[in-house]
Amino acid sequence: MTFPAIDPVAVSIGPLAIHWYGLAYVAGIMLGWFIARRMLLKPGLWPNDTPPCTAAHLDDFLLWVALGIVLGGRIGYILFYDFASVAANPLRAIEIWNGGMSFHGGFLGATLAMVFFARRHAIPLWSLFDIVASVAPLGLLFGRIANFINGELWGRPSDVPWAMAFPTGGPFPRHPSQLYEALLEGLVIFVVLQIVGRVFRGFRSPGLVTGCFVSLYALARITVEFFREPDPQLGYLAGGWLTMGMVLSLPMLAVGLWALVRARRAAAQPTGRE
């Protein structure tokens, strides 16, 4: 298939250029905020029929989570993927126009933001985790589509009918792994979490939706890594197949499974606290 050459710049006004990648972050955060706000209007979804926080809390949390995602994502990329280059040229750390964001770093940054915000406003931490986890796949969906538009993070060479030759990927047709991730990490996980939270009342067991998100993301990421080209500065870590994305996802899988077990045990205790 022919790669659809889409200008990475969505809107240009004089020297100001607004990129699809930046709009993807904004769209994911704002749509997630909108859906989370509507969930708070349904008391029956939550423990004791009481939403864990107010809509005003979510409004205030927007800035916290945005900073956590961006700072964590950038710092994570430097530490996990590009440390040698930044150590040689420290100014590279602020060259965000050259790309470089790590989901795992953004995940840690957002988690820290939630911990601090929950403590400051006396919000049940695991329920806040669940709210954010239930809408987080939307950000992944938009972000991976933006990666595809930018023609970056492409997959390994392939002869499947839908393989594409990316502008920066050489002459070889490759897996459009960005779209695989958008589908699995974004759309599929979002639908599953909404079903778990709303249909099966998963929000009433604080931590259950969070555990599902973290576990499913780790499994989806490990799966897609078999089709995605590893970062050139790292390559394969071992065996011609192990990548940094896989290594970073394994602890996430363990944490996600632990969160699921913890949520089930807490739900089995009639007097258990969140």
What single-letter DSSP state applies at residue 155? B
Instruction: Answer whether 274's CB lies under 8 Å from 124's CB.
Output: yes
Which of 110, 111, 101, 107 is closest to 79 using CA atoms?
Answer: 101
Per the rule left: phi > 0, alpha: psi between -120 and 50, beta: everything else, 124 is beta
Cα 244 to Cα 210: distance, rounded to the nearest angstrom: 23
User: Would you say 144 is a known binding-site residue?
Assistant: yes
Q: Which amino acid is at 260?
A: L
Cα 248 to Cα 254: distance, rounded to the nearest angstrom: 11
Structure tokens at 158: 């392939």
Place of tokens 């990548």: 243
Angle at 30 between CA 28 and CA 34, to 5 degrees: 115
Return binding residues. Answer: 144
